[in-house]
Amino acid sequence: MASGPVPVFAGVLFDLDGVLIDSTEAILSLWRGLATEHDRALSASAIRDDVLGCSPEHSVSALFGDLDPDTREEILRRVRVAETDLAFVEVPGAREILAALSGAGVRLALVTGASARRARRVVAHLGVAAAFDAMVTWGETARGKPAPDCYLLAARRLGLAPGRCLVVEDAPSGVRAASSAGAVTVGVGDAPALRAAGATWTAPDLAALSVARAAGAVELRLAGAPIAGLSTVAGPATLSGTRA
């Protein structure tokens, strides 16, 4: 984005897997096991484009689209059962940035392809449930990432136009979803792939992002330099729009 005054956003939308937690090995183990059972292997491009950051429905369609409908539905059923308890580790800096943003009164949403049960388990484990004003999880939209539906719904639940939302994503599919929704994206991780997918800024990791107050405003900073202003609201978070 061109230099000059930093753009101002009214809400920040976070992906879960790969941004706030690292569950990559557990996710890949699940999908590689399913692929092996059906005599196929997952290529690096399939992992990048059709697994990580994608809805399970997209992954099943992309990886097993040649199989009969009953078999595809059984694969999806097994994913539903297994994904609730996938192992994960916290990403360094996750709690800190959420606490800083919510403490400043910035509206936050969690937008994830994880089930509501797993998402709630993770945010409870991290102790960050109260930071989020809204959550969008697997199955709440007709299409998952890389379609924009989940980010459109999250913006609506926050009462914001998508263009007023800043999204933090780690996967090209998630960046494409956010960009298609009209949001602006900070990509965390593989900079070339994230920029190619449409990320406006890229950071090597979440710890490179920080929150600061300057001249009465709240800024999101990347490696110490301001990239976005953030408007604030009064009142506690409500975690609206989720399903048990």
**Which CATH number is 125's domain given?**
3.40.50.1000
User: Is the dihedral angle over the CA atoms 151, 154, 158, 159 positive or is it negative?
Assistant: positive
pLDDT reported for residue 244: 31
Q: Of the candidates 35, 59, 83, which is a domain's last residue?
A: 83
pTM metric for this prediction? 0.83
**Is residue 241 assigned to a domain?**
no
pLDDT reported for residue 192: 96
Sheet of 11-14, strand order: 134-136, 107-111, 11-14, 165-169, 184-188, 201-203
Distance CA 118, CA 130 (A): 16
Residues 33 and 97 occupy one common structural domain: no
Q: Which residues are catalytic?
A: 15, 17
Is residue 55 a contact partner of residue 80, using CB atoms and an 8 Å limit?
Answer: no
The token duo for 118 is 């797993």
Residues 164 and 76 occupy one common structural domain: no
Q: Of the candidates 48, 83, 118, which is a domain's last residue?
A: 83
**Is residue 28 assigned to a domain?**
yes
Residues 65 and 162 occupy one common structural domain: no
pLDDT reported for residue 231: 92
Identify any residues that bridge with 103 across adjacent strands, giving them in sequence order: none
Residues 77 and 135 occupy one common structural domain: no
pLDDT reported for residue 2: 44
pLDDT reported for residue 136: 97
pLDDT reported for residue 106: 95
Distance CA 115, CA 41 (A): 26
Domain range holding 56?
A: 24-83
Residues 195 and 97 occupy one common structural domain: yes
The residues of the chain scoring below 70 in pLDDT are 1-4, 234-244
pLDDT reported for residue 58: 86
**Is residue 117 assigned to a domain?**
yes
Residues 167 and 126 occupy one common structural domain: yes
The token duo for 155 is 């913006």
Residues 51 and 101 occupy one common structural domain: no
